[in-house]
Amino acid sequence: MWYIVFSIIYWLFVGLSCIVIFAGALVLWVFTSPFDRRLWLQHRYSCFWGSLYIRLNPFWPLHIEGREKIDHSRVYVAVSNHQSMLDILVIHSLFFHFKWVSKKENLYIPFVGWNMMLNRYVVLDRASRRSFIRMMRDCKRHIRQGSSIMIFPEGTRSADGNMRNFKEGAFRLARQAQCPILPIVLDGTGESLPKKGYVIRKKTPVILKVLDPVMPEKFEDMEPHDISIMVREKMEKALNELRHKGEIAD
C-alpha cells in the first residue's frame, strides 16, 4: 500500500512543480529568446526541469555511461531506443543541446507541451506525409543553426523492452545533412514507468549508455534503410550487454 501513497505524493509534486517551473521557463524565454537564436539557455533549463524528477525519485537510480563521447562542439542526429515516457527525462540528464522530434499530441500536455513550443522543438504528425516533409526541413534548419536533433527511431514505445524496427527518417536526415549519428541506449525505464501505469512499485535502476558516434564517412554510400539496420544492430548489441552485466551483478 505504501507504494500507492508514494506514487500519489510524487505525481502531485510533479504536477504542482510543473506550474512553477514553467513560469520560470516563460520568463527565461521572454528575456533570452531575442538574442539566443538556438534557444540554448531555454533547452538547458528544460534539461534541469526533466532531470530534476529523476534525481528526486529514490526509486529511479540513474547510471550514465559514455557521457564523455559527446563532443559539445559538434552537431549530431541522436537516436535512442524508447521504452517509457521516462526516457525523455533520462535523456535530458545528459545536458547537451538538441531539439526533440516529437509527435504533435505531446504539445497538448499542459506546461510540458507549452515548454516544448517555447523551445521550438520539431513537431511531427505521424499520419501526414506533408508533416514528415516539414519535419525534415525544420530539422535541417536547426542543424544549420548548430542544434543537434534527438529522435526515437522506433516511432513509439516498446511494449516489452525489446527494440522495434527503426524507421528511416533519422538516418535519411543524417545522410542528407552529413551529420554524425549518436546512438543512445536506455534500459530499465520500461520497468520503472510502464506504458500503462503510474504506480511506482519498486526500486529499478535506470541505465543510459552513449555509444561511439557513427561518422558520416561510415555511411555516406549507404541507403537510409541499411544505415538504420547498422545502427540498430549496434544499439541492440549494447542493450544485450547491459542486461547481461545486470544479470551478473544480481
- What per-residue confidence (pLDDT) applies to 128? 79
**Interacting residues of 168 by C-beta distance below 8 A, sequence separation 6+:** 224, 225, 228
Place of cell 510533479: 14
Closest CA to 181 of 217, 155, 154, 135: 217
Under DSSP, is residue 92 helix (H, G, I), strand (E, B) or coil? helix
- What per-residue confidence (pLDDT) applies to 21? 97
- What per-residue confidence (pLDDT) applies to 2? 74
Q: Alpha-carbon distance 126 to 107, whole Å?
A: 14
Domain boundaries, the chain: 2-249
Sort 110 into a burial class: Cβ within 10 Å, 0-12 / 13-18 / 19+. exposed
| Angle at 239 (CA atoms; ends 234, 241), nearest 5 degrees | 95
Q: pLDDT tens digits, the chain, 250 residues: what are they? A: 777 888 899 999 999 999 999 999 999 999 999 999 999 999 999 999 999 999 999 999 999 999 999 999 999 999 999 999 899 999 999 999 999 999 889 888 999 999 999 999 999 887 778 888 999 999 999 999 999 999 999 988 888 888 999 999 999 999 999 999 999 999 999 988 887 778 887 888 999 999 999 999 999 999 999 999 999 999 999 999 998 876 545 4
Q: Alpha-carbon distance 23 to 80, whole Å?
A: 30
- What per-residue confidence (pLDDT) applies to 246? 61
- What per-residue confidence (pLDDT) applies to 250? 46
Place of cell 521516462: 86
Q: What is the pTM of this model?
A: 0.93
Give strand pairing partners of 151. Answer: 79
Q: How many CB atoms lie within 10 A of CB 115?
A: 23
Helix boundaries (H) for 2-97: 2-32, 40-55, 86-92
φ and ψ at residue 128, rounded to 5 degrees: -120, 120
56 DSSP assignment: T
Q: How many CB atoms lie within 10 A of CB 99?
A: 24
Q: Alpha-carbon distance 83 to 202, whole Å?
A: 17
- What per-residue confidence (pLDDT) applies to 126? 78
Which CATH number does the domain 2-249 belong to among 3.40.1130, 1.10.510, 3.80.10, 3.40.50? 3.40.1130
